[in-house]
Amino acid sequence: MFVRTQDGEARGVIPSTTHPVSQGRLCHRGWNRFQNLRSVNRLVKPLVREGEGMKETGWNEALKLSGEKIKDLIGRHGPESIGVIGSPWLSNEDNYLVSLLARQVIGTKNLDGSYRFGAAAALSALNQLFGEGIGAVGSIPALKESPAVLVVGRDAHRDFSPVGSRVVQAFQQGAQIILADASAAKADHFYKTLIPVPADRLPAALAAKRDIPLGILDLLGKPGAGLVFVADQLGPSASALALINYLIERRASAKDLPNLLALSRSPNLRGAWDLGIRPPAGGLNLEEMLAPESKVKGLLVFAEDLSVHLPKADLLEKLKKLDFVLWAGRFKNDTAQLAHVVLPLPLFAESEGTLTSCEGRIQLSRPALSPRGESRGLSEVLPELAQALGKSLPGGPAAAIRKEIGKAVPGYEKITGPEVESEAGALLAPPRLASAPPKSAALPVLESADKFLLLIPNTLYAWERNRMIAESPVLYIEYQAERPALKMNLQDAKDFKFRPGEKAKIRSERGELQVALQADEGVPRRTLVLSSHFLNLVESVAGKGEIDPVTRSVYFPSLLVTVEKA
């Protein structure tokens, strides 16, 4: 994709027609990308806290102050009192430096990304199956040739045009396309089969062969069969592992692996994960860093509006009470509001760096615009911060950092080669299945004749994307803000004689909740949907959720509930 500029401003975009993935097509966010590049809500100068407000300052002062605060915390409480948060909204080069900053400069094992609450489950499953360097586990172009594709969640289609378009092409070539989605009343034209179960219960439903003609399940074992899912919405790691294992076990020949596409609405999820933005052994993850009893006193947050990602109210309270929060990012947002030091970063379109796609394709993004205001890239900033801490970090041009990555990160040897600079980018090595892939027990399918199924879809993973949407006049009206309400099937709402806006009382084994209802034709019968970002509502009915033992983080499984008029 190209950004077109005039007078130093983004004025338009066009897709690349020769790129093997995009082939001249974009989604609506892509087509309107130039609008958020013009955003006026950008950070343009470093800021430091002064009483209740923030004061503009120079880079030297901001970095000096940050260095002093970090040194002070290390001196008083040790390096483990500092946590570092990288981001799928940073390039591989930047994430690599963030990771080095934590491990080598500060010497803390408390390193993570906000995908802890979402995609970490699916990525951990891939790690368990394919080892540390996950490799190129999927291919979007190859999806077109699939005999069958299992798509988990209907969003995976329209929201990811290149993938959706290959699904349509596969359908046109006779492939069987299966949709698994408990929140969809009906499936689009090219889905042969709809499996109405939530992702976390899907492996059990597949094993029980529910709602699925047998021939189709057999096709999922054929070479090239695809599994498409949104990485942040697959439920706990055990479910993700069981689902992928299901396909691996069905395959006819040992040498074929299924085409696995773990989609993300963040541009560099795979890259951030692969470059080590996760806690090493003995380190705290993000949830543990912000737990009420945690000993972390200072948090360095990079490019992620952390305060809107947190799945529990007490984590946010802890974040607000930390002795020191450094926030380096692009937009004026809630996290910038509560930080002690704010550093402005350039957007992808304003700097050079590589990103790793869901396929495992490393691609180089070149700047189309100059950095806004006084914003500076992390490859300049972090070595200076390291210096303020009396240490050093490699810096310089992005290509120099790629050389370091090529040497240090397993599977990323190609990041230094000429392929990365080519349009198609460089694919990571093909995945190699671990000799003894782990098994996992799947959650049972929930069924009850007299109860409703409450789905709590994870919506706490894409807020940087939401920011980009808010900054575009087209997308801002295209995506309506969600109301804090419970979605219910229109006919069910009629049967209950609910008037518009009237409150319902829902009760589960874990709690109860009174909430406004929103009738929705798109929701299936006897199903309720409550987005996970309405924290207070979710905690009332779902309690504290469950802890995924692999990611050591909270998730909210679907529940059976009763419904009555409030």
> For 322, what's the count of Cα atoms within 13 Å in the CB-facing half-sphere?
33
As measured in angstroms, the least distance from the Cβ of 491 to other proteins is: 18
Q: Catalogue the E-assigned strands of 65-147.
A: 82-86, 111-113
As measured in angstroms, the least distance from the Cβ of 345 to other proteins is: 18
Residue 473 interacting with other proteins (CB under 8 A):
yes
Residue 449 interacting with other proteins (CB under 8 A):
no
Q: Which of 189, 215, 436, 497 binds other proteins (CB under 8 A)?
A: 189
As measured in angstroms, the least distance from the Cβ of 12 to other proteins is: 3
Residue 12 interacting with other proteins (CB under 8 A):
yes
CA distances to 198, 225, 471 from 217, in Å: 18, 10, 43
Question: Tokens 């899907």 belong to which residue?
Answer: 202
- Short-list 469, 465, 475, 464, CA closest to 329: 464
Residue 26 interacting with other proteins (CB under 8 A):
yes
How far is the C-alpha of 479 from the C-alpha of 53, rounded, in Å? 32
Interface stretch with other proteins, choices 117-125, 156-164, 525-533, 549-557 (CB under 8 A): 156-164
**Residue 34 corresponds to which amino acid?**
F
Residue 45 interacting with other proteins (CB under 8 A):
no
- Fill in the per-residue mask, 218 to 237: x = in contact with other proteins (CB under 8 A), - = not in contact: --------------------
CA distances to 73, 273, 290, 342 from 80, in Å: 9, 21, 13, 22
Residue 500 interacting with other proteins (CB under 8 A):
no
Whether residue 180 contacts residue 399, with contact meaning beta carbons closer than 8 Å, is answered with no
CA angle (200 as vertex; 194, 203 as ends), nearest 5: 65
As measured in angstroms, the least distance from the Cβ of 378 to other proteins is: 25
How far is the C-alpha of 175 from the C-alpha of 171, rounded, in Å? 5
At 344, list the tokens: 């402005």
Residue 31 interacting with other proteins (CB under 8 A):
yes
Residue 283 interacting with other proteins (CB under 8 A):
no
Residue 28 interacting with other proteins (CB under 8 A):
yes
566, with CB counted inside 10 A (0-12, 13-18, 19+), is middle
Residue 478 interacting with other proteins (CB under 8 A):
yes
Whether residue 394 contacts residue 62, with contact meaning beta carbons closer than 8 Å, is answered with no
**Residue 549 corresponds to which amino acid?**
P
As measured in angstroms, the least distance from the Cβ of 247 to other proteins is: 25
Grouping H, G, I as helix, E, B as strand and the rest as coil, residue 318 is: helix
As measured in angstroms, the least distance from the Cβ of 34 to other proteins is: 7
As measured in angstroms, the least distance from the Cβ of 423 to other proteins is: 7
Q: Compute the 3-state secondary structure of the chain and give helix, strand, coil in percent, each to the nearest 5.
A: 35, 20, 45
Interface stretch with other proteins, choices 133-141, 321-329, 475-483, 510-518 (CB under 8 A): 475-483
At 78, list the tokens: 């040790």
Pairing of strands 512-520, 193-195: unpaired
Interface stretch with other proteins, choices 97-105, 168-176, 272-280, 406-414 (CB under 8 A): 168-176
Residue 2 interacting with other proteins (CB under 8 A):
yes
Termini Cα distance of the chain: 51
Residue 522 interacting with other proteins (CB under 8 A):
no
Whichever of 170 and 454 has its CB closer to other proteins, that residue is 170
Question: Tokens 């080069």 belong to which residue?
Answer: 93
Residue 482 interacting with other proteins (CB under 8 A):
no
Interface stretch with other proteins, choices 34-42, 48-56, 450-458, 551-559 (CB under 8 A): 34-42
Grouping H, G, I as helix, E, B as strand and the rest as coil, residue 361 is: strand
Residue 169 interacting with other proteins (CB under 8 A):
yes
Residue 344 interacting with other proteins (CB under 8 A):
no
Whichever of 157 and 330 has its CB closer to other proteins, that residue is 157
Residue 365 interacting with other proteins (CB under 8 A):
no
| Spacing of C-alpha 283 from chain mean position | 21
Whichever of 38 and 507 has its CB closer to other proteins, that residue is 38
How far is the C-alpha of 357 from the C-alpha of 363, rounded, in Å? 8
Identify any residues that bridge with 300 across adjacent strands, giving them in sequence order: 84, 326
As measured in angstroms, the least distance from the Cβ of 50 to other proteins is: 20
Whichever of 7 and 564 has its CB closer to other proteins, that residue is 7
As measured in angstroms, the least distance from the Cβ of 1 to other proteins is: 11
Residue 480 interacting with other proteins (CB under 8 A):
yes
As measured in angstroms, the least distance from the Cβ of 346 to other proteins is: 17
Whichever of 169 and 387 has its CB closer to other proteins, that residue is 169
Query: What does the binding site for other proteins look like in residue numbers (CB under 8 A)?
Result: 2, 4, 11-18, 24-28, 30-32, 34-35, 38, 40, 157-158, 161-162, 164-165, 168-169, 172, 188-189, 423, 473-480
